[in-house]
Each structure stands twice: as structure tokens, then as C-alpha cells.
């Protein structure tokens, strides 16, 4: 059941979390995938990379290629525009969250 719930309830939240991560420090796809998995959240690579691309198209993220041990990684960083979107999402999420715990 836990799996189903992620799809149904938590995917949007995971996306906010991606923005937040990218605010703290540059993040790449595989890293966040594995990290989320470790904590019991599943997001497919298809959805994940598509999410990164979508965020970049919307101007929320930009990436730079880094060569790590001879492998290319795309490190994504939050833009100002992304920060704005993130803050709004966070705020709205908090509203709903507070309603949940009031």
C-alpha cells in the first residue's frame, strides 16, 4: 500500500523536495533517485528526468555538466525563478499541512 500512496499522494511533494534540494546544493538525477528510494519513496527514472527537464524549461533549474570519475553528471541548481516557485509551493503546502494538523 505504501507504494500506491506515493503515487497517489506524494509525487507532487517529492517535486517540491527536488527544488529544495537544488536550493541547498547542486543535485543530479541518480543521486536524488537513490536517496528517495532509501527513504521509501519511489519515483521512476522516466518521471524523474522528465521532471528535471520540465523544471529547466520553466526556468526553475539550470544545469552544468561535471565530469566525475570520467562520468558526466548534470548538476541542477535552483534559479531565482525557481526559488520563487519553490517558496510559493512551500507556502501552499504549509497551508494544507497545517490544516492537516490543526
Partner DNA sequence: TTCTTGATATCAATTTATGATATCATTATT
Partner DNA sequence: AATAATGATATCATAAATTGATATCAAGAA
Residue ranges binding DNA (CB under 7 A): 7-8, 11-12, 28-31, 42-47, 49-53, 67-74
Residue 91 binding partner per list DNA, its own copies, none, with a CB distance cut-off of 5 to 8 Å that depends on partner kind: none
Distance of CA 8 to the CA centre of its chain: 17
A 10 A CB-CB count for 33 gives: 18
The correct pick among 8, 34, 38, 80 for binding its own copies (CB under 8 A) is 8
Work out whether the CA dihedral 97, 81, 35, 14 comes out positive or negative: positive
For residue 72, state whether it binds its own copies (rule: CB under 8 A): no
Rounded Cα–Cα distance for residues 38 and 65 (Å):
25
State the number of binding residues for its own copies (CB under 8 A).
30
For residue 9, state whether it binds its own copies (rule: CB under 8 A): yes
Nearest of 47, 76, 81, 82 to residue 62 by alpha carbon: 76
Query: What would the x/- binding string for its own copies be over residues 15 to 44, using CB under 8 A?
Result: xxx--x------------------xxx---
Residue 78 binding partner per list its own copies, DNA, none, with a CB distance cut-off of 5 to 8 Å that depends on partner kind: none
C-alpha cell recorded at residue 17: 523536495
Amino acid at each position: 500500500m505504501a507504494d500506491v500512496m506515493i503515487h497517489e499522494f506524494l509525487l507532487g511533494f517529492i517535486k517540491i523536495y527536488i527544488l529544495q534540494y537544488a536550493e541547498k546544493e547542486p543535485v543530479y538525477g541518480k543521486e536524488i533517485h537513490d536517496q528517495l528510494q532509501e527513504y521509501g519513496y519511489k519515483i521512476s527514472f522516466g518521471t524523474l528526468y522528465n521532471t528535471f527537464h520540465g523544471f529547466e524549461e520553466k526556468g526553475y533549474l539550470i544545469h552544468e555538466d561535471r565530469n566525475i570519475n570520467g562520468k558526466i553528471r548534470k548538476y541542477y541548481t535552483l534559479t531565482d525563478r525557481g526559488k520563487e516557485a519553490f517558496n510559493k509551493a512551500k507556502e501552499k503546502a504549509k497551508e494544507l499541512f497545517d490544516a492537516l494538523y490543526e
